[in-house]
Copies of this chain bind each other. A is one copy, B any other.
Amino acid sequence: MKIIQLFGISAFASLAFLGSCKPKGTETAVSGDAAEKVYVAPGKYDEVYNFVSGGFNGQMNVYGLPSGRLLKVVPIFSVNPENGYGYSEETKPMLETSHGFIPWDDQHHLELSQTNGEQDGRWIFANANNTPRVARVNLKTFRTEEIIELPNSAGNHSSPFITENTEYVVAGTRFAVPTDDMNGDVPINSFKENFKGVISFIGVNKETGDMNLSFQIEAPGVNFDLSHAGKGKSHGWFFFSCYNSEQANSLLEVNASQNDKDFIMAVNWKKAEEYLKAGKGRKVKTQYAHNKFDEKTQTATSKMEQEVTVLSAKELKDICYFMPTPKSPHGCDVDPTGEYIVGSGKLAALIPVHSFSKMLKAIENKEFAGEYDGIPILKYESTLYGEVQKPGLGPLHTEFDGKGNAYTSFFVSSEVVKWDIKTLKVLDRQPTFYSVGHLMVVGGDTKKPYGKYLVAYNKITKDRFLPTGPELTQSAQLYDISGDKMKLLLDFPTFGEPHYAQAVPASLIKDQQVKFYNIADNKHPYATKGEAESKVVRQGNKVHVYMTSIRSHFAPDNIEGIKVGDEVYFHVTNLEQDWDVPHGFAIKGNQNAELLIMPGETSTLKWVPKKPGMYPMYCTDFCSALHQEMQGYVRVSPAGSNVPLTYSLNNKADNAKSPVKTAVTK
């Protein structure tokens, strides 16, 4: 067969090294005091919150450092049957998109909100790669509060990076596509003509964190990969790496690896704002979902937006500039001063460092090497501060410790390398096991890194942990970077696939936690604020159960008169007002997940019973010594039955004080 002869395995022998190399000396050198350094004694707190992307699990995983313990999985883009996220009536709207409800995505990067280039501990933003979206998680509740879909985009990879006062979250398109006002139904081989790489600027409200899609920039159809905002002196600019400047649409492993240099695109977003104000954008009709969770009603709503303003980089010549960068650049990282922009070309054998000051001068002096699809290309020498020579193979990402050092991950040579930003000299290198992708220094992409720890997020673990069949864990490795040399402290497996991560000292966040919701503030339309108010209401074939839960019973806990064909909505209010006393709720045979209801909260589970019978319901979260007793029954009768709809708690024949009540019918 022709294709396999050309592009089968054998043809790629020369690329075999790109798989991964086992570092030489698989004997792991570990610091002698490593055990003591990572041990967090029972009852003691970790020093750092580490927010790690879940990759293809779609969630955010929160670890403690230095212990490497998984403290929480925050559901963002994937349904979470465990606590009802994406299954409860309140949270279903969070996963709505212009394509309908989507139960999954691929979550790659996380960015903590900043004020003046420093972490402020308010929110963390997350991207969805597959169906382009950006989410905001509140760091007081560890809940996803908002998700906004991105039109004109695909493969939302260089996202969600932020400006130094969280003015914008940006998102760049990895898989170029026709914009939504073109007919997307075009031949794939019309790529160069029709496909674009659109960059989105999402404005963030300073007080509330609410996001809106402020504008987009239409850029050439290349693959935007990663990005970082300028800071300090370079505040007002954004930098995006791209590959596939060849604009290939098939077999990219060969066809997008032809050019010796691709680009970092510098975007003058302050200038873009001026053009926007001046009405230079075109209004593009499209559809994108904007989903918000309201903490007062504890309910999400999904709104379909209809329009976005797009600025053309080709027409507005002075908002985008291309800086040539070898080869297939992946990471695009800006040092704490804002002067140095590090491009890590995954097929390069050196690390180029661009100078922001030189770039400004080069633009001023028009030191151009030509144009790419209408965008000025700056001369490589004109923007280059220098190159780190022989750093390793396959550089991917760089972070900083605030002491003048940079740390770069190398996928192919499987190591992390420390180098001096000013001298560009390599200072130290440590192997990773195996094939590190991102790395992270605590606060390492801000103006004021906390330093101390570096974590490498590895793609391959093979023989590093007890094996678990064909599907193995991915992993993280913790290094102490407080001294001159990096010291490996710990391997810990990760949940999902770790891509980027960020971390903050625990002190910034731990004392602001919401412990429970004040029942008095609960504005949920179906809240039941005391057992006295519990009731059952029929509206046609919809039955609303206003239910309460408190240790250790539901009210009501006996319901009769549900009929096949009914849609039953259990609106369960957790009356507890103390920390760490959730109640769960589930009913047998329900084609749905459970609810996990926090104290003071109301959540709703829909149930459409399919056959007559006796259906137990119960509390799924071990809440007290009498948790096992926290149960009830719902009787379902055939359609057309005349069993009246009634409900009760503790009805007994001899107890006239706890009568069976008849449901209200509206």
Contact = CB atoms under 8 A, between A and B. Distances in A.
Interface in A197-215: none
Contacts of A154: 588, 614-616
A368 interface: no
B81 A580 contact: no
Contacts of A626: 15, 18, 252-253, 257, 346
For A104, A249, A466, the residue with the greatest tally of chain B CB atoms inside 10 Å of its CB is A466
A467 B513 contact: yes
Q: How large is the interface on A (under 10, 10 to 19, 20 to 34, 35 or more residues)?
A: 35 or more
A614 B178 contact: yes
B70 A56 contact: no
A324 interface: no
B250 A558 contact: yes
Given A71-B466, A626-B253, A531 B8 contact: yes
B464 A621 contact: no
B188 A71 contact: no
A497 interface: yes
B78 A81 contact: yes
Contacts of A270: none
A520 to B, nearest CB: 16
Contacts of A79: 79, 81, 103
B591 A185 contact: no
Given A79-B81, A185-B614, A251-B553, 8 more contacts: A28-B42, A28-B43, A39-B39, A72-B468, A129-B620, A183-B612, A189-B651, A467-B510
Contact of A465 (B45, B225, B243, B462): B45
Interface in A575-616: 575, 579-580, 582, 584, 586-594, 596, 598-599, 601, 610-616
A466 B64 contact: yes
Given A58-B81, A99-B591, A629-B252, A614 B177 contact: yes
A81 B95 CA distance: 13
A522 interface: no
A35 interface: yes
Interface string A531-574: 11110000000000000001111010110100000000000000
Given A468-B142, A471-B142, A532 B628 contact: no
Contact of A469 (B141, B472, B496): B141
Contacts of A506: 466
A580 B22 CA distance: 13
A178 B5 CA distance: 66
Nearest to A635: B188
Given A56-B596, A464-B42, A466-B49, A102 B69 contact: no
Contacts of A631: 155, 175, 252
Contacts of A622: 55, 437, 459, 497
B628 A223 contact: yes
Contact of A140 (B157, B469, B557, B593): B469
A558 B490 contact: no
A500 interface: no
A318 interface: no
A658 B596 CA distance: 54
A619 to B, nearest CB: 10
A34 interface: yes
A349 to B, nearest CB: 12
Given A253-B629, A531-B4, A20 B513 contact: no
A618 interface: yes
Nearest to A132: B588
A274 interface: no
A612 B184 contact: yes
A470 B103 contact: no
Interface stretch (A357-365, A375-383, A642-650): A642-650
A7 B649 contact: yes
A569 B104 CA distance: 18
Nearest to A59: B82
A468 B579 CA distance: 11
A38 B49 CA distance: 22
A55 to B, nearest CB: 8
